[in-house]
A and B are shown apart, each in its own frame.
Chain A
């Protein structure tokens, strides 16, 4: 008996999961670059949202064609991966179809997987056509030039190849079962691969066994490669959609966060007994408290939920296709806000890796080097993007944090907005009217 196969399998499996774990660690480290934000409230509502939106795909089906096709691919992948358990056990212990003792139930499962696999292939082909032939507006959009466009197609190719390997493997197995080859006991039902099996008629048994083994190995290796591809791809959403919907904002969409650091200062200003020349308060260590930075200019100033949002984004563009600014030809695209945030986060992460765990200023920032002021000032804060996102990503909160930095740290608002704010400050209205004229309408 030779155990080379089993040892090789365990090594490949360990390498696959090991490298994946390595990247997951990096992913978590990068997300934790963000500021803290407490999202531990209302666990019941949060679990509910996750169940409905991520697991139940409730926001996906608002666009029914894409939604239903997506559900087929999603269910296909989740359920077919149950088979992964059998493959891993077979691989480690050198068994063949270890669960076949389940009999009828096993046949049902395998048959069901096959139908799903076919559904996945059909859906993926339609997805590919929508992206590359029909060129739907949001897929042909300028945001997706280069790598994002290729990434999307690689994912579709990967999924097709994996499903074809799975079906070919089953077909070869079915053929071998029928001709009564050793080890290939009768098990499973093959409603789809049954149509491929006749291709093997007349082939030497050894050749078919080779095909069966080759597809078995390629299938599992393919899955491991795909899993490790996630970190480099928009496809991360298959994992992060779950925490992302759990930790999403639960408050009304119109409610923007009130900055606590500002509240303190405003209270002081409005307190007639406050001493304007008082020394800044000291913290417990006896150091003067450093005033916090207002708003965000880089990824470290955003909170970890916003950074997780960036990794979760699968660049579907539903946000951008709901954005009034983008629809009318402005540069702002909420999808690009998320892609830029992720790219910058990756850049900062690599910088930290290179400099032994500390970030060394690279003279760049999310604001200006990735996201321009022209984009930021085009936002109407309409929440169209937030509503459209199938996994509750919030591009608007990032736009607002960058705007706060521009206005409060750099006084860099467009001139007309500065005029508006001066008016609010001086006469309590965004226009130059006298506060004392507020009730004149009554007698006009």
Chain B
């Protein structure tokens, strides 16, 4: 990857210059702090830079959407976080939000409007697809040409919001061989991280959910397991490690696939 400097303006900087970006990039906690997810964030920013998209981030003014608190049952904490975020977003008169995290996507898109926060919210795969359709971005197969890639549907993108096609269309644009797992799209099996499971040890059982899902992915004999969610990415990466397959199977976000294909 080339080390071009990333252009990541904040909303505050934009506002100081009297500018309003086309879209706000909601980075999310994972994308901001998790070492693996930060790579996804950077890959997405590189694509945005390449496509000359006018965007901005909230930076230190962004806070957890409240998703894990809500799924854990803490409605108070969720609504506190939501109200604070809505105040910030409305303060900047944000109209459109893109995020690489399906949990942030779902929460802001579906649960913020009832609390007064009404925005157009898209997942980064949907946004990339629209860039492609508008001719602002071109995708070439590059290093992924002919490679076997299977896509794991994030629950909060797929079942929760019926977005199944955008990530697949992007993978197909890489001239890769998209292979489906037995359970995919609306039947896709969870990676095990949702509902605040990410932050706790699993209950007693025979197996970890991420290992089960990774086995399903490995059945397709993929070279790459593609994900569209930082949590799924972590779970599947751990699953691949648990199966001792990290040498021949990579877990990559769709944004990373596209950025890598372009040598960004």
Q: Which residues of A contact B (CB under 8 A)?
A: 251-256, 258-259, 262-263, 265-267, 269-270, 294-295, 322, 324-325, 327-332, 374, 377-384, 386-388, 400, 403-408, 413-414, 416-417, 419-421, 424-425, 428-431, 433, 435-442, 444
Contacts and interface: CB of A to CB of B under 8 A. Distances in A.
Contact of B199 (A251, A294, A405, A430): A430
B57 interface: yes
A408 B203 contact: no
B83 A441 contact: no
A416 B72 CA distance: 11
Given A379-B195, A380-B195, A256 B70 contact: yes
B29 A416 contact: no
A413 B32 contact: no
A329 B79 contact: no
B197 to A, nearest CB: 5
Contacts of B106: 252, 254-255
Contact of A266 (B6, B76, B159): B76
A324 to B, nearest CB: 4
Contacts of B180: none
A390 B59 CA distance: 44
Contacts, number: 219
Contact of A413 (B41, B72, B162, B195): B72
Interface residues of B, number: 73
Contacts of A330: 202-205
B205 A384 contact: no
B160 A416 contact: no
B68 A420 contact: yes
Contacts of A265: 76
B195 A266 contact: no
A404 B6 CA distance: 42
Contacts of A421: 68-69, 72, 74, 77
Given A252-B160, A380-B190, A381-B195, A327 B212 contact: yes
Interface in B187-227: 187, 189-190, 192-209, 211-213
The residue in B110, B190, B207, B213 that gathers the most chain A C-beta atoms within 10 A of its C-beta is B190
A66 B211 CA distance: 29
B183 to A, nearest CB: 8
B187 to A, nearest CB: 7
Given A254-B156, A325-B205, A438-B32, 16 more contacts: A253-B160, A255-B106, A269-B80, A322-B189, A324-B192, A327-B212, A374-B203, A380-B192, A381-B195, A384-B155, A387-B159, A407-B72, A417-B72, A428-B29, A440-B32, A441-B41
